[in-house]
Structure 1
Amino acid sequence: MSQLNKVLQVLDLFSAQVPTLTAEQIAQRLDLSRPTAFRYVRQLCDAGLLLSISGSYALGPRIIELDCCIRLSDPILAHSRDALRTLAGTQACMAVLVTMYGDQVIHVHSESGHGSTELQFSRGRRLPLLQGAASKIILAHQPVSRLRRLFQRCREDGQAQAISDDVSGFLKYFRMIRQQGFYVSRSEVEQDVTGVAAPIFNASGDVTSCLSLTFNHDLNPDYETDHFIPLVQNCARDVSLRLSRSQNRLRARSAQDQPGRLDA
């Protein structure tokens, strides 16, 4: 593991449940020597990624600055805002943009319809990896090799067992979701909440994000998922098309700007 990865591991120790840590606690949790932990902390403080508070450390203001930059420049978010508003509409629903990095699935942005029940997850919160419409539709479009590794890792803590006892059943489950093109969850992440999700494709045909529409099915028993499925799929296709066009334009512009290129 590179030194950069080791330094960044420090940031993963912080959460809503663990907002502050001392250098000694960081050393203990990462099995580092005390001088090494202090060196890592100092580097992160110099970069603004950590903040020193009375002998302890918390996540720093640079992260807020970076989040502001993402909100203004994230192409997937930029092309999804209108679709999220369309999904939420005037009904008691919440439309959510979700993305995946590594083995983490996080809530990126949401729009609320009239009278919708707020989810417990806000921007930046992690979603269960193997539960819920958003996580499952993204996983369904991952390479088989990645799903195999995920099954082996999650089998140890029992998460994968809820889907299948063996890897072949696990792969078949997600293959069916992929072929279906959407996924509907009911009370998988939050009690009384139904979610409908469809994938967002980038210009390379990869899926790392999705759009999801959620509503409280106990408070809105007349809501039919069959009505929402095509709406979610159409919005996700529209975002995928916009994203692909934008990425292709950037690639074309980059090719034109390459040094040594001779104009026709």
Structure 2
Amino acid sequence: MPDSPDDARPGGTDIQAVDRAAQILRLFGPETPELTAAEAAERLDLNRTTTYRYCTSLVSAGLLERGTAAGTFVPGALLLQLGAFAIGRRKVIDLAPGYMRELCAATGLTTVLSLWGSTGPIVSRVEEDPTRTVLVTVRVGTQLSLVTAQAKVFLAHMVDQLRVDRMLGSLPDDTRAAVVREIRELSGTDRIAMGADDQGVHAMAAPVFDEFSICASLALIATNDVLPLDPASAVATDLRNAARALSKAMGGARPQP
């Protein structure tokens, strides 16, 4: 593959530049959540300097971000947002709005539908209660962390447990142990997962199944005084029933322990 630093300049071949950028973006996945420009150059047989320029340009465009380790790059916010819109073509996105509106109206809480991305849940649709003075919400396209209620629901129903172990390996030991205990309790059930952050925001999430496996998570989010983390509460019952109804519409069934 011929290559030179000039390929990355605006005066170079525009179509080739797009193709090279796409090649770099395709390197990312569940097994490669982050990589360096040198690693990308080696895998694609490209010049290292050119590859680094592409990576920094992709960072400027929002398609990549700097990783936690020195010299690494990870998928960027814009890439995740575009991915969420693309994933949104799935059937569950078409069926969910009615169930979400009913759940939002019944509880008065922000209702969130998330689909699994490459390394975690991606917020794909949000329904909000416009009558509330104070509103807790989340933007469509946001990638949620592995300690959120939505992530726990997905992790509990993943078939590939080795993949789950690898993803959780990035968490601190005490946090990882707590998440592992919770997802084991959720596995094989349609129980609700709970989550809270250090800013006083609570969330509870329920799994949505299609004919194959889990396809989405349906969640409620609010401040801790509005949404107590009680699986026996009325809002938890409303959430569970909405998720079960959506699963039925998707042709899914409650999991067997």
TM-score normalised over the length of structure 1: 0.61
C-alpha distance in 2 between matches for 1:102 and 1:63: 9
C-alpha distance in 1 between matches for 2:170 and 2:87: 35
Structure 2 unaligned residues grouped into runs of 5+: 1-19, 30-35, 42-46, 64-77, 253-257
Q: Which of 111, 115, 126 is the matching residue for 1:110?
A: 126
Check 1:181–1:11 CA distance in 2 against 1; reply closer, same or farther (3 A cut): closer
Matches within 5 A, 1:19-30: 27=37, 30=40
Check 1:10–1:176 CA distance in 2 against 1; reply closer, same or farther (3 A cut): closer
Q: Which of 113, 124, 127 is the matching residue for 1:97?
A: 113
How far has the Cα of 1:90 moved from its partner?
5.4
Check 1:29–1:122 CA distance in 2 against 1; reply closer, same or farther (3 A cut): farther
C-alpha distance in 2 between matches for 1:186 and 1:4: 37
1:149-186: CA deviation from partner (whole Å, max 9, x where unpaired): 4324533542x532428xxx93x542311245222424
Q: CA RMSD, aligned part only? A: 4.0
C-alpha distance in 2 between matches for 1:173 and 1:238: 24
- Is 2:178 the partner of 1:161? no
Q: Decide whether the 8 Å contact of 1:182 with 1:196 is kept in 2.
A: no
Q: Decide whether the 8 Å contact of 2:206 with 2:217 is kept in 1.
A: yes
- Is 2:208 the partner of 1:208? no
Partner of 1:148: 162
Partner of 2:7: none
SS across alignment from 1:209: strand
Partner of 1:181: 190
Partner of 1:135: 151
C-alpha distance in 2 between matches for 1:185 and 1:215: 12
Structure 1 unaligned residues grouped into runs of 5+: 13-25, 246-264
Q: Decide whether the 8 Å contact of 1:182 with 1:229 is kept in 2.
A: no
C-alpha distance in 1 between matches for 2:240 and 2:80: 33
TM-score normalised over the length of structure 2: 0.62
Q: Decide whether the 8 Å contact of 2:193 with 2:206 is kept in 1.
A: no
Q: Which of 103, 110, 117 is the matching residue for 1:87?
A: 103
SS across alignment from 2:187: helix
Q: Decide whether the 8 Å contact of 1:199 with 1:211 is kept in 2.
A: yes
Check 1:27–1:153 CA distance in 2 against 1; reply closer, same or farther (3 A cut): closer
Q: Decide whether the 8 Å contact of 1:202 with 1:240 is kept in 2.
A: yes
C-alpha distance in 2 between matches for 1:238 and 1:186: 23
Q: Decide whether the 8 Å contact of 1:184 with 1:196 is kept in 2.
A: yes
C-alpha distance in 2 between matches for 1:5 and 1:203: 33
Matches within 5 A, 1:212-251: 212-219=219-226, 226-244=233-251
Partner of 2:140: 123
